[in-house]
Amino acid sequence: MLVARAVDEEAHRLQKQGALDLWPSCQGQEAAQVGSALAVGPAPAVFPSYREHAVALLRGVAPDELFAQWAGRTFCGWDPRRLRFFPYTLVLAAQTLHGVGYSIGQRLQGLEDFVVVYVGDGATSEGDMSEAMNLAAVESASVLFVCQNNGWAISKPAEEQMRTSVAVRARGFGIESVRVAGQDPETVFSACSRAAAHIREERAPYLVEIQVGRIQGHTTSDAQEVYRSRDDLTKTRAADPVIAYAARLSDLGVVDAAWLDAVDTEVRELCERLQKEYA
Ligand SMILES: Cc1ncc(C[n+]2csc(CCOP(=O)(O)OP(=O)(O)O)c2C)c(N)n1
Ligand SMILES: [Mg+2]
């Protein structure tokens, strides 16, 4: 989570300098991403949306490879087959159908591991998401849908896009689901571990809706202060999962100041190298 935060902050600096064209921040969503990615492990193929940077880093995407895409240097900066982490998808919810189709294809080839699809709250309004959930349900596809509900589709609040939660909607399609808070990576890890066990045992899809806070604007091109209240932004920043989890682990004695300093040095060196390469 600390590495993902540092890489995200470095991307912001580089975008301001004109080195990156755009950056959709994952700040506030690190616990959801790290908790879910660790729970599913390295085997399942992942079909991300476009801000799953912490998942990308855990899957072995190098920060340079991540930045290359947002600097417009490549269509996809990493090897999707080797990392089993597919290209970022900017056409909202398209990856949901890609993931379900891939899962069905895997089963037809006798390969049994499941597929993970990341999707945002706003993207669930797309027809593709409904088609993907229905297809996954009727085909009993081994797909874990992870919906990071950050409450916003750019400037459109989630409560103006749906009358029920995404988790309740999934059940209407015949998909088991759960809704969890996304501030603590351990809560997310437990929920996604249970979901993974269900998918493997039942050979059926599952949806985990994770409620997260979006600390930065939609992207570096978005001035969220225009449409979000000061109170909302203050509360979201106060619930920063990276700060909260570091503090909790320190209080529990799991990590100490020397360990945190070592991580700090590691990420500072990483960011200096990225600065030199991209600025
Ligand atoms: C098919 C399609 N329609 C519209 C857009 C423009 N668009 C890009 S991101 C976005 C909001 C997505 O919100 P959400 O799914 O909640 O993801 P978040 O950015 O909050 O992670 C929109 C409308 C798009 N990329 N693709
Ligand atoms: Mg959203």
Q: Does the Cβ of 123 fall within 6 Å of ligand 1? A: yes
CATH class of 2-278: alpha beta
Give CA angle at 206 (202, 207), nearest 5°. Answer: 170
For the chain, domain boundaries: 2-278
Burial of 125 (0-12, 13-18, 19+ CB in 10 A): middle
C-alpha of residue 164 to centroid of ligand 2, in Å = 15
Residue-wise pLDDT for 143-189, tens only, equals 999 999 999 999 999 999 999 999 999 999 999 999 999 999 999 99
Burial class of residue 194 in the structure, from the number of CB atoms within 10 Å of its CB (0-12 exposed, 13-18 middle, 19+ buried): middle
> For a pocket test of ligand 1, which of 89, 131, 148, 154 has the largest count of ligand atoms closer than 8 A to its C-beta?
154
Residues 176-192 have pLDDT tens digits of 999 999 999 999 999 99
pLDDT of res. 98? 98
Residue type, 47: F
Cα 204 from Cα 133, distance rounded (Å): 11
Residue 279 has pLDDT above 90, yes or no: no
Q: Give the residue whose CA is nearest to atom 13 of ligand 1.
A: 153
% of the chain beyond a pLDDT of 90: 96
